[in-house]
Amino acid sequence: MNDEKLLSKKEILENIEENLISSDDIEEDDASEDYGELKEKKLVTDKQDPTVASLYLKYTNNKLILQPNYQRKFVMKATVASRLIESMLLGIPIPVVYFAEEEDGSFSVIDGQQRLTAIISFMQGKFLYNNKVFKLTGLNVLKELEGKTWKDLSDSQIEKINDTPIRSIIIKKESSDDIKFEIFERLNTGSTPLNEDEIRNTIYRGTYMELLAELEENEKFNKIVDKPNFKNRMIYRGMILRFFAFKEITYLNYKPSMKTFCNKHLKQFRNMPVEKRTEYSELFKETIDKVYTIFGKNAFRRMTKVEGKNDYEWSKTRINMALYDIQMFGFTRYDKEALIRHQDEIRDKMFDLMVNDEDFISSIEKETSNTATVNYRFKKWLDVLDDIMKQEVNNPNPRCFPDLIKTEMFNEDPTCKLCGQRILNYDDAHVDHIKPYTNGGLTIRENGQLTHRYCNQHKSNHE
């Protein structure tokens, strides 16, 4: 029996928070921002009790999508899958399954993919993910069925499974995308819930999502981020989306939350034409190439002070998304050759901001999605880049020592000339003007001395 109804935003939130998940699990800034924008939107749901046989028919007719690209792969153990089949034969109800109705009328599994995959695998005689024969194993009650396949069951047992009803909630295609996003986030209360990037792949499926899936394979992007778990959970795609959103909308028009900001952009260009897709693809590849050329594998990572020492070191694993935003966005404004001509000063300025500018440090570490914070860090870095790139290419006395001089000094004697201690990290080394640049000191080797960045920052700007 169909039970279709139109729910208000208030009813949706009340029902979900009461039955599915605590509001404590929702980030405060996201929840407050989203509620204001979504309060007038609607969600259309449909309750059904399809039989296993009808769902299997949908699957064979390509109307039931068991593993949409946002879902994780099948991970249910054979014994657990076997006991699920045993439960059906014993008449034990199957937990509720959630579907999203697509534009073509097909159903994508939102919650219950593992259970449905196990059931259909058994009916087909082999596991869908590896083609191994599905034989019942580890049964607790119907031990006489141990080692049996679908074809080994009696007619009455097959009928029992085929006629098993599965309570289903369908999120109808008429529902607001933003409301669906909210619902899907809260539905996933299992041991490994879907993240927002995985959820986007079911709500906003289209040519844009296909582009993100293609670009996440970019070699240099993978070398920089180097976090397979990010890629497996589609966070790579979310990072690329975030870059495009800021490039298209700009930081000047950013409003929290970051999730909503990205979702709006994705929804607008969900089915982008070939020309736009090509434009985006080339932009990303060119930009990531520039970033890799200038910052290498240290791109998007913080340099921080070593506690109790005058040394700084790179974060080995953590990706700082605030740095990612400004490094990617900033380099879209200049061609690669111009950036290379100033790469030493660009790197040096970025290092100094990360370790010496308290306001900047705060903007990439605290309340990073706040509008004022986002605007501050973008403007700060863009102004720094603009100042660097305005310089004459053949400036007879550039402010920053070339990397070649720093390398020569470090290789000859990696000792800080101010504190006398060894400099352990090359990127922590800084070539300081003996006679200050502001007092007319020349940027030549004879007027340079190798120091810790920390020591140089705390050195008086006098001869």
pLDDT digits (tens, 9 = 90+) for 23-35: 232 233 343 344 3
pTM for the model stands at 0.61
67 vs 138, higher pLDDT: 138
Provide mean pLDDT across the span 298-326.
85
Distance in angstroms (rounded) separating the CA atoms of residues 196 and 90: 37
Give, to the nearest 10 degrees, the angle between helix 235-249 and helix 321-331.
Answer: 50
Mean pLDDT, the chain, whole residue set: 84
Distance in angstroms (rounded) separating the CA atoms of residues 428 and 414: 11
Q: Is omega for the bond preceding 257 within 30 degrees of 0, making it cis?
A: yes
List, as one string, the DSSP characters of 243-306. Answer: HHHHHHH-GGG--S-HHHHHHHHHHHTTT--HHHHHHHHHHHHHHHHHHHHHHGGGTT--EEEP
Return the closest-CA partner of residue 194 out of 210, 180, 176: 180
Distance in angstroms (rounded) separating the CA atoms of residues 114 and 72: 9
Res. 113: pLDDT tops 90:
no
Distance in angstroms (rounded) separating the CA atoms of residues 330 and 312: 24
pLDDT tens by residue, 150-206: 999 999 999 999 999 999 999 898 887 777 777 777 766 554 566 888 888 767 878
Least reliable range by pLDDT among 156-160, 182-186, 245-249, 421-425? 182-186
105: left (phi over 0), alpha (psi -120 to 50) or beta: left
Res. 416: pLDDT tops 60:
yes
Least reliable range by pLDDT among 55-64, 131-140, 443-452? 443-452
pLDDT confidence band for 274 (50 / 70 / 90):
very high
Return the closest-CA partner of residue 160 out of 178, 134, 174, 142: 142
pLDDT at residue 199, rounded to an integer: 81
Highest mean pLDDT among 99-108, 325-334, 353-362: 325-334
pLDDT at residue 195, rounded to an integer: 81
pLDDT at residue 330, rounded to an integer: 97
- Give the phi and the psi of residue 426 in degrees, each rounded to 5: -55, -45
pLDDT confidence band for 41 (50 / 70 / 90):
low
Burial class (CB in 10 A: 0-12, 13-18, 19+), 259: buried
- Give the phi and the psi of residue 47 in degrees, each rounded to 5: -95, 130
Distance in angstroms (rounded) separating the CA atoms of residues 214 and 35: 33
Beta-ladder partners of 47: 3, 169
List, as one string, the DSSP characters of 186-230. Answer: HH--SSS---HHHHHHHHS-SHHHHHHHHHTT-HHHHHHH--HHH
457 vs 142, higher pLDDT: 142
Distance in angstroms (rounded) separating the CA atoms of residues 65 and 152: 27
How many C-beta atoms lie closer than 10 Å to residue 445's C-beta? 15
Res. 6: pLDDT tops 70:
no
pLDDT tens by residue, 115-139: 999 999 999 999 987 889 999 999 9
**Location of structure tokens 């599994």:** 109
Q: Evaluate whether 294 touches 343 at the Cβ level (below 8 Å).
A: yes
DSSP symbol at 150: G
4 vs 224, higher pLDDT: 224
Res. 13: pLDDT tops 70:
no
pLDDT at residue 1, rounded to an integer: 39
pLDDT at residue 423, rounded to an integer: 87
Least reliable range by pLDDT among 75-79, 212-216, 272-276? 75-79
Least reliable range by pLDDT among 287-291, 387-391, 418-422? 387-391
